[in-house]
Amino acid sequence: MRRYGAFLIAQMHQVSGRIFSRMLKNHDIETISPAQGRILFALWSSDDIPIHELAEKTSLKKTTLTTMLDALQASGHIIRVPSGADRRKIHIRLTDKDKQLRETYSQVSAAMASLCYEGFSEEEIELFEGSLKKILANLKRFESGKDAPARSRRGKTQ
């Protein structure tokens, strides 16, 4: 049987990105894209972190992350600060401008989650998010080269 999970996830990503952008615009947040929001979200939970740690938290390649950080810095949302211990390491830190944005962005994120989970029970949400975490772990493990693609599913050779 053919599976369409990855295709559906890709479609959900595209549609939800457009809706989220519209919601941000409706709240006068036009300088932050959903992709940049992922960076800010990670920093809101752990501010003043090295770039490599931010790359891990967001699953962004360092080149993509650097480009997005350039835009966030140009718009005044983050600053790059050399590490005190090792000046070659750069930490990313939120600015006061971004800290003020956090509340509105969080409200928009909550509205988006409500839209996505409309009609779901708490149990269904937990099961769904648990499944997504497993898929993400599988993909990260494969990307890192630590695991070959599965040759079987549920003990049956494909």
| Helix segments in 27-144, DSSP class H | 34-45, 51-58, 62-74, 96-116, 122-143
At 83-117, the pLDDT tens digits run: 777 777 899 999 988 777 888 888 999 999 999 99
Domain coordinates in residue numbering, the chain: 29-118
Domain spanning 29-118: which CATH class is it, in words? mainly alpha
List of residues 6+ apart from 37 with CB closer than 8 A: 20, 24, 105, 109
61-83 mean pLDDT: 92
At 22-36, the pLDDT tens digits run: 999 999 888 788 788
Q: What is the pLDDT at residue 134?
A: 96
- Give the lowest-confidence range in 22-31, 63-72, 124-133, 139-148: 139-148
